[in-house]
Amino acid sequence: MTLDETIRTDIEGRIRSGEWRPGYRIPFEHELVSSYGCARATVNKALTALVAAGLIERRRKAGSFVAHPQVHSAMLAIPDIENIIVGRGEVYRFATANRHVRKARENVAEEQLLREDGDLLAIDGTHFADMLPFAFEERIICLSTVPEASTAVFDATAPGSWLLRHIPWTQARHRIRAIAASPVVAEALAIPVASPCLQVERWTWRSGDAVTFVRQSFPGDRYDLIGDFEAHAE
């Protein structure tokens, strides 16, 4: 372990153990320099990392203080569905149910968010894990940003995996909520109408240009989002 990591984990340990409570003023940089016998840059690197982790706050002239955790900030991994299924050791398949080109519908808020005037490629389909429906997906792709998509064949590879390889996204917005399965979703997932489903919506941009919008519905009992987190102030 490097020296700055040692300093960082030493201080982190004292904070996480409760020895240094929120509000406590940790030693000044020059004090840590003399106690560790190292350069100030090394101490500074460790403390800067603790700021990024939300564990401390620093004020000129006043010193560095253990932060007051306020908000639970959670790092949620939302991987590609194909990766989830293959990672479980199951057989993955995507089946396209519907595919056509159209314009954005004016009264649909989800599509307005993309602020896109050009043609959209709309694709509905189902992700299967070991022949069992895993998720139903409704997607639109902005052909003005991704013209190659109009000729791509989404057979073995789902549109999401294809897009990820062809034009990696740079900005995205997610919305997660619980819905009652509509007749379309229920039929695709082979579950009763109105069953609870976890719905993940994702808008994706590449340097400001809209790339795609997707709404994925998972049977409520077949998929959980799980995340392990550490304290992160504000």
Partner DNA sequence: CAGTGGTCTAGACCACGAA
Partner DNA sequence: TCGTGGTCTAGACCACTGG
Q: Please give the residue ranges that form the binding site for DNA (CB under 7 A).
A: 2-5, 28-30, 37-42, 44-45, 47-48, 51, 58-64
Quick one: what does residue 168 bind among DNA, its own copies, none, with the CB cut-off 5 to 8 Å set by partner type? its own copies
* Residue 106 touching its own copies (CB under 8 A): no
Whole-number Å distance between alpha carbons of 15 and 105:
52
Q: How far is the CB of 45 from DNA (least distance, A)?
A: 6
Whole-number Å distance between alpha carbons of 160 and 151:
15
Contacts with its own copies by CB under 8 A: the residue count is 57
Q: How far is the CB of 100 from its own copies (least distance, A)?
A: 27
DSSP-based three-state secondary structure for 5: helix
C-alpha distance from residue 95 to each of 54, 58, 89, 125, 127 (Å): 44, 53, 19, 5, 7
How, if at all, do strands 209-219 and 132-142 pair? antiparallel
Using the minimum distance from each CB to DNA, give the nearer residue, 31 or 130.
31
Q: How far is the CB of 227 from its own copies (least distance, A)?
A: 5
Residue with token string 């490629």:
121
Residue with token string 């201080």:
11
Whole-number Å distance between alpha carbons of 59 and 157:
51
Whole-number Å distance between alpha carbons of 148 and 211:
12
- Residue from 8, 127, 139, 206 touching its own copies (CB under 8 A): that is 206
* Residue 182 touching its own copies (CB under 8 A): no
Q: How far is the CB of 168 from DNA (least distance, A)?
A: 21
Q: How far is the CB of 37 from DNA (least distance, A)?
A: 7
- Which residue stretch of 9-17, 96-104, 119-127, 136-144 sits at the interface with its own copies (rule: CB under 8 A)? 9-17
- Over its C-alpha atoms, the chain yields an Rg (Å, rounded) of 24
CA-closest candidate to residue 53, choices 191, 228, 230, 174: 230
- Which residue stretch of 32-40, 112-120, 127-135, 163-171 sits at the interface with its own copies (rule: CB under 8 A)? 163-171
Q: Which residues pair with 57 in a beta bridge?
A: 65
* Residue 178 touching its own copies (CB under 8 A): yes
Q: Tell me which amino acid residue 19 is.
A: E
Using the minimum distance from each CB to its own copies, give the nearer residue, 153 or 178.
178
Binding footprint of its own copies on the chain (CB under 8 A): 15-18, 22, 41, 52, 68-80, 83, 164, 167-180, 194-199, 202, 206-207, 218, 220-221, 223-231
